[in-house]
Amino acid sequence: MTHIESGVGHVRVEVTAGSSEEARALADAAVDARLAACAQISGPITSVYRWEGSIHADEEWRIVFKTADDRLAELTALLVDRHSYEVPEIVAVPVEGGNPEYLAWVTESTRPRP
């Protein structure tokens, strides 16, 4: 994982939600709490998956959060707490590099309020 001068790494966190309203509420909550610098919502998408022994296909919205890796546990806890799904998809992928100024902004935007 690439670290910038702050020593903080970065992750992209992918989440799905069952409606655009829920996706927006999760995005707003995470950014407001400074647990993500930004969240991008796309959809609808179709997800095909096995749940409780049956194959399902549902319309969902994808949210991609950009955050510092030291905020991942708190972001995950917030998402689990506020998500309508029993077992929400929350998958973090390390950022291996990128624009140093952008990554610095992600770090700055995810620092706890004083």
- Return d(Cα 21, Cα 27) in angstroms, integer: 10
Q: How far apart are CA 32 and CA 65, in angstroms?
A: 13
pTM confidence score: 0.90
- On whether the CB atoms of residues 4 and 97 are closer than 8 A, the answer is no
Q: Quick one: tokens of 96?
A: 């291996």
CATH class of 3-109: alpha beta
Q: How many CB atoms lie within 10 A of CB 40?
A: 12
Higher pLDDT, 7 or 45: 45
Of the candidates 55, 36, 39, which has an alpha carbon nearest to the alpha carbon of residue 47? 55
Structural domain spans, the chain: 3-109
* pLDDT per residue as tens digits for the range 77-93: 999 999 999 999 999 99
